[in-house]
C-alpha cells in the first residue's frame, strides 16, 4: 500500500513540476504599449474592415456556442434568451429581470435568480467570442500600439465590463486589417500571451463581417449565426421576449 501511495505521490509531483515549468517557459509578460494617434488610427482601420457601423445598427443576433449554448439577442432592447440542457432563460441583461424555465416549467424566484446569473455569465463569455472585435472602443477600454512579430498590433485593455474586467487582448491583423488572431493576458488563463485564431469570417447583411472559428489550446466554434433588424426576422417570426 505504501509503495502504491509513493508512486501516486511521485506521479502527482511530476505533473505539478511539469505544469509549473510549462507556465514558466511559455508565459509572456504583458507588453508595454503606446497610446495615442497611431493606436486610434489602427482601431479605425480594424473597425472599417469588419464594418463597425453595420454592427452598431444591427438590432438582433442569433448564434450557437460550441453546439450547446443557444442565443437570441435583442441588441436594441438588451434582451437575451439563453437555452442550454433543460434550461431556458429570458432576461434583460441590464436589469437582470426575467423568467427561467426547466423542462418548460417556470422556476421559483430563488432558482430563477441563480439561472439568470448563470445565463448571464454564459452570455458574457460566449458572446465575446462573437463580438470582441466590435468592442475595441467600449467604455472603460484603453488602446495602445505594441510590437508583435516585428509588426504593429493593437492592445485593448478592459478596465470594466463583462464578467472578467481587467483583461488585455493584443489583436494581430492581416494586410486588410481583418483580425487573424489575438494574444490574451486574462485572469482565467495562467499563461500570458496565449494565442487563439480568428478565422472563418462570414459576411452578413450590410457587409458585416463576423469570425466563426477560433483555434488554440481549445477550439471554439460558433454556428447558426444570424443578424437582422428584428428578432422575428431571424427567428421564424417568433418573438420570445413578449413574455417579459
pLDDT value, residue 104? 95
Q: What does pLDDT average to in each consecutive run of 10 residues of the chain (244 residues)?
A: 42 35 58 95 98 98 98 97 98 97 96 97 96 96 95 91 72 98 91 94 97 94 98 97 89
Reading phi first (left if > 0) and then psi (alpha if -120 to 50, else beta), residue 51 is in: left
pLDDT value, residue 57? 97
- Give the start-end residues of each E strand in the chain: 60-65, 69-74, 79-84, 87-92, 98-102, 105-106, 141-148, 151-158, 168-173, 179-185, 194-197, 199-204, 208-214, 220-228
pLDDT value, residue 24? 38
The residue extents of the domains of the chain are: 37-243
The four Cα atoms 138, 186, 214, 131 give a dihedral, to 10 degrees, of: -10
pLDDT value, residue 190? 85
pTM: 0.85
pLDDT value, residue 160? 59
For residue 82, give the nearest of 204, 214, 240 by alpha carbon.
240
Amino acid at each position: 500500500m505504501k509503495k502504491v501511495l509513493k508512486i501516486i505521490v511521485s506521479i502527482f509531483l511530476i505533473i505539478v513540476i511539469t505544469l509549473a515549468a510549462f507556465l514558466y517557459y511559455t508565459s509572456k509578460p504583458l507588453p508595454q504599449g503606446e497610446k495615442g494617434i497611431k493606436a486610434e488610427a489602427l482601431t479605425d482601420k480594424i473597425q472599417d474592415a469588419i464594418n463597425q457601423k453595420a454592427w452598431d445598427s444591427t438590432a438582433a443576433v442569433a448564434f450557437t456556442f460550441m453546439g450547446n449554448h443557444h442565443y437570441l439577442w435583442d441588441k436594441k432592447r438588451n434582451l437575451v434568451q439563453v437555452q442550454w440542457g433543460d434550461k431556458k432563460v429570458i432576461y434583460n441583461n441590464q436589469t437582470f429581470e426575467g423568467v427561467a424555465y426547466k423542462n418548460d416549467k417556470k422556476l421559483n424566484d430563488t432558482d430563477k435568480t441563480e439561472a439568470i446569473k448563470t445565463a448571464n455569465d454564459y452570455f458574457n463569455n460566449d458572446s465575446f467570442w462573437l463580438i470582441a472585435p466590435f468592442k475595441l472602443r467600449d467604455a472603460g477600454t484603453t488602446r495602445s500600439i505594441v510590437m508583435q512579430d516585428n509588426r504593429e498590433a493593437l492592445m485593448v485593455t478592459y478596465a470594466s465590463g463583462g464578467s472578467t474586467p481587467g483583461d488585455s487582448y493584443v489583436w494581430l491583423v492581416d494586410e486588410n486589417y481583418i483580425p487573424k488572431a489575438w494574444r490574451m493576458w486574462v485572469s482565467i488563463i495562467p499563461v500570458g500571451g496565449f494565442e487563439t485564431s480568428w478565422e472563418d469570417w462570414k459576411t452578413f447583411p450590410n457587409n458585416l463581417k463576423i469570425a466563426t472559428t477560433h483555434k488554440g489550446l481549445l477550439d471554439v466554434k460558433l454556428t447558426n449565426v444570424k443578424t437582422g433588424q428584428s428578432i422575428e426576422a431571424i427567428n421564424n417570426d417568433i418573438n420570445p421576449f413578449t413574455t417579459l
